[in-house]
Structure 1
Amino acid sequence: MAVAWSCLLLVLLVWLSCIDRTGAAGATFTFVNSCGFTVWVGVQSNGGIALLAGGGFELAAGSKNAVSAPAGWGGRFWGRTGCNFDSSGQGKCETGDCGGVLKCGGTGGAPPASLAEITLDGANGDDFYDISLVDGYNLPLEMTPSGGTGVCGSPGCTYNLNDNCPQVLQLVAQGLVIGCKSACAAFDTPEYCCTGAYGSPTTCPATEYSNAFKAACPTAYSYAYDDATSTFTCKGANYAITFCPYGTPGTTPSSNSTHGGTHPPPSRSPPKQSPPSPNGISQYGTGTSAGVRYSARVEFILLLCIAAFLFLHGKKQPELQASVELMM
């Protein structure tokens, strides 16, 4: 009996040591610049949370930079373009500017800017993350988890929205479209910003502009209440955040746009809703392989521990040996 209890205690201790604790130990964000030009990364932490990387850094074309975040960290990242900073870090960016400084220091980026957002160790220990176009678009962007368990999809907006940005939403510099504003940023009305009387999913459905964003980038947030297919979860992962994941997008002359006109009346037609996924889980990805690999690894380690214990003690425990043979 004593040997059996000792074996069970050993198994319990090994199991506890093998539990995946990466979700409670923070995460590493690896920023990858696959664009053919320099991107200046902006970082904004959620209120009361430590700032990462001083709030921003330069990321040369073709380079990477890994940044560690503590457990429970939350915030957003974006790429700034067309920046010019002096030796003191003062300057300005054409898109995503955060007050004219290299290190944003907690200040968000000026729209339009494609956003990668994440909160580590949320409900049930899951990370919650997304790619958002709620503040508009300036660069192709993708977020890819690695080493985690769960659904663990890879949201992104890899399409160059500047190519077909409606003229009324265009941000233009030197005759080229360098960003595509959200309808909220362009018109600044409650109907498009989902505020005031329009501050609920029922009263603020998708519009023709957010529908166009969604059609081009199905896994990205297209407007404030686009939650169903745009929020992703993963547990214990690290994340790659890639700018221009499929290479440098082409520049688009403003005159090439086939969309013109002035501010149209708000579109109030309810958007078509995607069928809800089982248990409210995002429909993108299954995430089962990582969990299966982890379970098999732990089971194998436990079996080795039990076998080693029996061998070292030289005890014959018919019931325990039978259990081991059955598990094998």
Structure 2
Amino acid sequence: MGGGSAASTALVVLFLLLLTSGALSATFTFTNNCEQTVWPGLLSGAGSAPLPTTGFSLNTGESKSLPAPAGWSGRFWARTLCAADPTSGKFSCGTADCGTGTVECSGSGASPPATLAEFTLTGGGGRDFFDVSLVDGYNLPVLVAPRGVSTGGAANNSCSATGCVVDLNGACPSELKVKASGEGVACRSACEAFGKPEYCCSGSFANPNTCRPSSYSKFFKNACPRAYSYAYDDGTSTFTCPGGTSYLITFCPTTAR
């Protein structure tokens, strides 16, 4: 009888854990407020199951929601200037391409420069951790806003909105600017542009004491103070929310249409 009681207790505990896991699942809602179609890309982190899709199109004014389980980690970005080759059918994008030749990214990440939204759900202390990163450069404005919780307060590590809502492509320094048809369409990081360890926080610069903000990372930080501007920009760029929070990810949030 004792063994049966223990087994029953274990089943109850497992059931409660499953319920808790379900309760802490999140929904990501993507909204395109840009004046052109964008193609969000999704990459799950190591050990995280892929979400229902790894890439899709999002027309101007359109939204799409995706569920994510507790414990999921990964990143999102938006590709721009995308089209399928009329002869081969190969799909490619002018910025943030994932290189698969299809709309689905299928486990491939964004080719820099790309504005990234990064998440770890129900991580340490059962909290979500998220940020918007310009470490790999910038291709369009992105805002991440928690839903269903208070977003007030500007304190670090608070459950509040973050992102880069400024269009940096026009103001991007010429040595970092990526152009298409004569216009700026993306802004490279100094690491990608020059490949030097002091910009990439690599080699002898691979720690926060030696890798310091550069004039280029300061350009990103001054424009978007809540976004990551270089690898060790944690103090003002990582935000947390209670596990189970859902998030709205808006591309071009301030565009007037």
Q: TM-score range by the shorter chain?
A: 0.7 to 0.9
- Segments of 5+ residues of structure 2 without an aligned counterpart are 1-15, 151-156
Aligned to 2:199, what secondary structure does the other structure show? helix
Q: In structure 2, what is the Cα distance between the partners aligned to 1:125 and 1:193?
A: 32
Paired residues for 1:1-328 under 5 Å: 25-85=24-84, 90-99=90-99, 100-148=101-149, 151-235=158-242, 236-247=244-255
TM-score, structure 2 as length reference: 0.85
Provide the identity percentage.
53
Q: In structure 2, what is the Cα distance between the partners aligned to 1:129 and 1:117?
A: 5
Tell me which protein shows more helix as a share of its residues: 1
Aligned to 1:164, what secondary structure does the other structure show? coil
Aligned to 1:82, what secondary structure does the other structure show? strand
Q: What is the number of equivalent residue pairs in this alignment?
A: 231
Q: In structure 1, what is the Cα distance between the partners aligned to 2:201 and 2:28?
A: 31
The 8 Å contact of residues 22 and 69 in structure 2, kept in 1 or not, is answered as no
Distance 1:86 1:51, change over 3 A: farther
Q: CA deviation at 1:23?
A: 8.4
Query: What is the letter of the counterpart of residue 117 of structure 1?
Result: E
Q: What's the CA shift string for 1:137-195, capped at 9, x where partnerless? A: 00000000012479211111001111210000011111110000011111112111001
The 8 Å contact of residues 183 and 192 in structure 1, kept in 2 or not, is answered as yes
User: 1:5 maps to which residue?
Assistant: none
The 8 Å contact of residues 171 and 181 in structure 1, kept in 2 or not, is answered as yes
The 8 Å contact of residues 21 and 69 in structure 2, kept in 1 or not, is answered as no
RMSD (CA atoms): 2.2
Q: In structure 2, what is the Cα distance between the partners aligned to 1:85 and 1:135?
A: 25
- Segments of 5+ residues of structure 1 without an aligned counterpart are 1-16, 250-328
Aligned to 2:166, what secondary structure does the other structure show? coil
Distance 1:24 1:134, change over 3 A: farther
Between 52-61 and 170-179, report the one with greater CA deviation: 52-61
Q: In structure 2, what is the Cα distance between the partners aligned to 1:207 and 1:76?
A: 25
Q: In structure 1, what is the Cα distance between the partners aligned to 2:160 and 2:89?
A: 36
Between 164-173 and 143-152, report the one with greater CA deviation: 143-152
Between 163-172 and 143-152, report the one with greater CA deviation: 143-152
Q: What's the CA shift string for 1:45-72, capped at 9, x where partnerless? A: 1012111233111111100000000110
Q: What's the CA shift string for 1:80-137, capped at 9, x where partnerless? A: 0000036997311000100132100110000111000000000110000000000100
Distance 1:144 1:231, change over 3 A: same
TM-score, structure 1 as length reference: 0.67
Q: Where do 4+ consecutive residues of structure 1 move more than 4 Å? A: 20-24, 86-89
Q: In structure 1, what is the Cα distance between the partners aligned to 2:194 and 2:44?
A: 27
User: 1:274 maps to which residue?
Assistant: none
Q: What's the CA shift string for 1:25-60, capped at 9, x where partnerless? A: 320000000011100000001012111233111111
Tell me which protein shows more strand as a share of its residues: 2
Q: In structure 1, what is the Cα distance between the partners aligned to 2:89 and 2:253?
A: 27
Q: In structure 1, what is the Cα distance between the partners aligned to 2:59 and 2:79?
A: 12
Q: In structure 2, what is the Cα distance between the partners aligned to 1:154 and 1:22?
A: 24
